Amino acid sequence: MTTAELTQVEVSFPTAMQTAARLLNVTPALLAHLARPQQLHTRQLSLLRDDGTTLTMPAWRSQHNNWRGPYKGGIRFHPNVILEEVATLSGLMTFKTAVINIPFGGSKGGVQVDAKKLSPTEHERLARAYARAFADVIGPELDIPAPDVNTNSDTMGWMMDEYSRIVGHHSPGVVTGKPLRLFGSAGRDLATAFGGKVTLDNIIHRLGFTKTPLTVAIQGIGNVGGGLAKLLVDDGKYKVVAISDSQSAVYNQSGLNLNSVFTHKATTGNVENADYAQNLTNKELLELPVDILVLGAIENQITADNASHVQAKVVLELANHPITSEADAILGHNHVTVIPDILANSGGVTVSYFEWVQNQQNWYWTEAEVNSQLTDLTTTACHQVWDSAQSHHISLRVAAYLLALERLVATAKWRAVI
């Protein structure tokens, strides 16, 4: 892409953001600033394969907004990732950090590669190649990457090491989501799930549910969905009756034996035919008659085609953008409460912020301290979003965007950036 073409890449925000902007009477000038990333960087990475061949692939870093602090956002390695997706996700991160009220902006990175076909040594070479390619536009005070799809704590550790070599000094704060042995944060692995649980607890309380246990179906058995499942097992208010991976799903109306399901998944590679459970498709899981449906996999899972079949009373978005705007309207019409992604899955970026703070101070917290701080910030954000929704008679999603926009507008005016 040429420089001129890059400047025309727009962020695809949900309808809820436009609704919130109208309620706030946000000026066209400010909306124009938010419609496009402030900076878009594109590179070509070369990866030496283990067999001696060289693989070349595009890579990007979208820096959407830094009015409230350094850019912040994950890096995904995926064969179908495109620049427009990276740009949109960087915009969503701007709003997510504003909702939870941490001093970061929004960014996102991507490499168009099938990471599942890479060996561990190839994955390391790619991580280091990305750090070298973008070393001039990332940094602890500028833009702080984190793991996302098909990247993990090892990826971040390699990137931190490579960046430190380039700048000539130890720089752990350049990325977050690092292994504990490389100055990561306690509590980071389960941060998104833990924050999701805190959010769910708060909203369920506000909704006034008296029935217990509440039945839960979870799409996704990875770090996010599986992590939440493990937390819910220890809480008598909930009963997990269904869970899925990318290939299959299982269901038991009386409640799953999750230890058995996780063991089966580890042994066979999927959840199909797990003991004491009925096999389902992912489609069927989304339409189960449960109290709570958790979307912890990938985007665009509930669309205009299947939204009317959702029977859950509450939908918790732990994945990014798992419900389309059209589907969101249908769910609202059917009185389904949707807890939006920019609130529900903000635990990951919040603990990333804690990790960055610890790196900057060179003072490290216990897991209990991390979880206590995460609970406090998340609970405050839940109360603010709920109160805004009630006072304006709007959905939680619109309320979350309204809260974020209020903070972005206030900062923009105070800093005279528009």
The first and second tokens of residue 56, run together, are: 């070349």
The CA-atom distances, in angstroms, between 215 and each of 27, 165, 233, 235, 254 are 44, 50, 11, 12, 9
Residue 108 is among the residues annotated as catalytic for this protein: yes
The first and second tokens of residue 350, run together, are: 């919040």
Q: Which of 72, 96, 108, 197 is catalytic?
A: 108
- Residues labelled as active-site residues: 108
